[in-house]
A and B are shown apart, each in its own frame.
Chain A
């Protein structure tokens, strides 16, 4: 067997390193979805009436929808009545500090290498850990609060900052947006809320680690980030999940709202359990992420490194409404085994002289299938708007696939859209050449892939860039026998 074949076979077979289940008593509602379940969730969270109404409205709309089927992924139908929509780890008592967090929980994070505890926490990163659906620990809150930054579980923000939450929740991704957005609006249990006041450049990179744990529990996080005029924030999201036999649905919604001259940088490193080599047991990841550049000269930047999930369906998007606003999308997606990913972005140019950049790097190995789907829409009033799209695919072996669908709609003649695409196949020849120079196959692949992704990695905050490199190496680890 040639090194290349060996590599590809092993790539398809490496085990998910972080598959383990934490045993914490869960407070879980029976599976199923109806108005009573939604009322239960809302009551458990002691939500105000408007929040319950928000959920019920979304639920009633959701009931009129059916799952989208236009994306290029295939999966068995999800039984939404077999999912439990609420699961919270039961705290043994009220938590006042990190020391009181369930040690088993902390141990889980440490196994994952997540720096939750003060000592281990990466310098300068405030961690809001979401375990299943409820946030259990928040650090740095005081320091941030002093500056007027709000960074807290959205369930708390509903109580503490109802006006802000009410004003912005659903303003970027309304429940009518799509099937999964409606479902999320109806049943979301927690997530993060961030508000950066006028003129403040948030000195810390805000970070949340999501983790799916209780069996059969769908995850419906809701993240809302608002940067007021002239504010700036960099937000990091990362996740890994334990090994499962049943597919788990994940349908998060992330909303970013940037006022005039504000900037939001949202980075994700995603490593959910992708399923075994036959594609069994992975996470279904159907996420709606959108940013609204509401004010003039605002900027929103999405950077994502995706290595996990059985099925990914996700298009972090920017609506460039303010004149001169800027949207960016930097993405690395790695699919192996039988993983499927249909990802990309949408750049909706509404304002004058808006600019967007799309850099998408897709890596496919094994039998994986990957689709880039990008939409660049130049609105009627988007005078002088410009987009640049670079869409590169790398194929490891000959059984995987990559597809590119760039959609361009231009309703204004003064706009400019540029698209470049390349496909590189790393085959036995390339590996042989590297081997002939004394470079081991594993090192060669890791360097080739690293080089391929460099443009995206350099957009990540330092800590995350390191993690992303690590993730890719882990994903390619043991790829040589």
Chain B
């Protein structure tokens, strides 16, 4: 459902992604791990269509279409969801109104009738209960003054409401307590239906205990330097990233020769 080929991206002329290849088939959960600054968030932002990042080479095919040609909203409405590492705050924009607008945009796109405030509230409360979130989340302004954990919970709620075909979670588990970790896991696992794809960016094995990945990638200096099964995550946890220097050097070397 998602095929990334030789993706290069830069910010302010500085190359960040240096040739990413990755394929997610329907139903698969892929995890991406890797040191700080290796380009994980850049990859997720490029997939979502953030124009701050310039795609300098490569292509991305999503559901048979050229994803990079699609405007941001179009990608979203076609089922690409990004749980942001740093969700933005919009004071004065009621969270409930924001969520309803998002849900209705999706419904409209699918040719379904929009939900009025009452029906939406019922729908949202159901999901909130399912994730065991605090219903007060709805009555506040969008992420404004939310704690780090509350923001991540709100991302999770949005994912659950929008039921994406491809969910990209950028460190949704960072800064979460154990309970919240369960919420994220529950959110993802309840959406797993053998069709939806997941790209889970994380630094911690503990999340992958709950969301068991089919494939684990290690991203370093803008390249995927290793790919393996779920046991790779455990190996990383034990060994750390020290061994990566070699791999990165090898990549740079390859680039130098090319």
Give per-residue flags for B85-103: 1 if the beta carbon is below 8 A from chain A beta carbons, else 0: 0011011111001100110
Give chain A residues whose Cβ lies under 8 Å from the Cβ of B190: none
Instruction: Tell me if A439 counts as interface (CB < 8 A to partner B).
Output: yes
Closest to A454 in B: B92
Instruction: Tell me if B30 counts as interface (CB < 8 A to partner A).
Output: no
B73, B75, B82, B93: the one within 8 Å of A447 (CB): B93
Check B91–A436 contact: CB distance below 8 A: no
Say which one of B14-22, B44-52, B233-241, B243-251 lies at the interface with A.
B44-52
Instruction: Tell me if A178 counts as interface (CB < 8 A to partner B).
Output: no
What's the Cα separation between A216 and B158 when bound, in Å?
Answer: 55
Give chain B residues whose Cβ lies under 8 Å from the Cβ of A440: 73, 105
Instruction: Tell me if A67 counts as interface (CB < 8 A to partner B).
Output: no
Instruction: Tell me if A162 counts as interface (CB < 8 A to partner B).
Output: no
Check A439–B102 contact: CB distance below 8 A: yes
What's the Cα separation between A40 and B22 when bound, in Å?
Answer: 84
A424, A438, A451: the one within 8 Å of B73 (CB): A438
Check A439–B105 contact: CB distance below 8 A: yes
Check B73–A435 contact: CB distance below 8 A: yes
Write the nearest CB–CB distance from B130 to chain A, whole angstroms. Answer: 20
Write the nearest CB–CB distance from B111 to chain A, whole angstroms. Answer: 14
Closest to B107 in A: A438
Closest to B87 in A: A433
What's the Cα separation between A452 and B94 when bound, in Å?
Answer: 10
Give chain A residues whose Cβ lies under 8 Å from the Cβ of B51: 2-3, 428, 432
A426, A436, A447, A452: the one within 8 Å of B76 (CB): A436
Closest to A2 in B: B51
Give per-residue flags for B130-172: 1 if the beta carbon is below 8 A from chain A beta carbons, else 0: 0000000000010000000000000000100010000000000
Q: Say whether, besides A2-B51, A437-B98, A443-B101, A424 and B91 are in contact (CB < 8 Å).
A: yes
What's the Cα separation between A70 and B29 when bound, in Å?
Answer: 64
Check A436–B82 contact: CB distance below 8 A: yes
Chain B residues 156 to 193 lying within 8 A of chain A, measured CB to CB, are: 158, 162
Check B76–A435 contact: CB distance below 8 A: yes
Which of A2, A394, A426, A438: most chain B CB closer than 10 A?
A438
Instruction: Tell me if B77 counts as interface (CB < 8 A to partner A).
Output: yes
What's the Cα separation between A58 and B101 when bound, in Å?
Answer: 55
For chain B, the count of residues having a C-beta within 8 Å of the partner chain is: 31
Instruction: Tell me if A422 counts as interface (CB < 8 A to partner B).
Output: yes
Check B94–A438 contact: CB distance below 8 A: no
Chain A residues 421 to 450 lying within 8 A of chain B, measured CB to CB, are: 422, 424, 426, 428-430, 432-440, 443-444, 447-448
Give chain A residues whose Cβ lies under 8 Å from the Cβ of B94: 451
Give chain B residues whose Cβ lies under 8 Å from the Cβ of A428: 51-52
Give chain B residues whose Cβ lies under 8 Å from the Cβ of A454: 92
Which of B51, B87, B90: most chain A CB closer than 10 A?
B90
B72, B98, B101, B141: the one within 8 Å of A432 (CB): B72
Give chain B residues whose Cβ lies under 8 Å from the Cβ of A2: 51-52
What's the Cα separation between A439 and B52 when bound, in Å?
Answer: 19
B48, B49, B73, B81: the one within 8 Å of A439 (CB): B73
Give chain B residues whose Cβ lies under 8 Å from the Cβ of A437: 76, 98, 101-102, 105, 158, 162
Which of A424, A436, A444: most chain B CB closer than 10 A?
A436
Check A429–B88 contact: CB distance below 8 A: yes
Check A438–B102 contact: CB distance below 8 A: yes
Chain B residues 213 to 238 lying within 8 A of chain A, measured CB to CB, are: none
Instruction: Tell me if B120 counts as interface (CB < 8 A to partner A).
Output: no
Write the nearest CB–CB distance from A16 to chain B, whole angstroms. Answer: 27
Check A451–B101 contact: CB distance below 8 A: no
A422, A424, A429, A438: the one within 8 Å of B162 (CB): A438
Give chain A residues whose Cβ lies under 8 Å from the Cβ of B106: 438
Give per-residue flags for A304-340: 1 if the beta carbon is below 8 A from chain B beta carbons, else 0: 0000000000000000000000000000000000000
- Residues of A that sit less than 8 Å from B by CB: 2-3, 392, 394, 422, 424, 426, 428-430, 432-440, 443-444, 447-448, 451-452, 454
**Subset of 20 A-B contacts with CB under 8 Å:** A2-B51, A428-B52, A432-B48, A432-B51, A433-B84, A434-B98, A435-B71, A435-B73, A436-B48, A436-B75, A437-B102, A437-B158, A438-B73, A439-B73, A439-B98, A439-B105, A448-B90, A451-B93, A451-B141, A452-B93
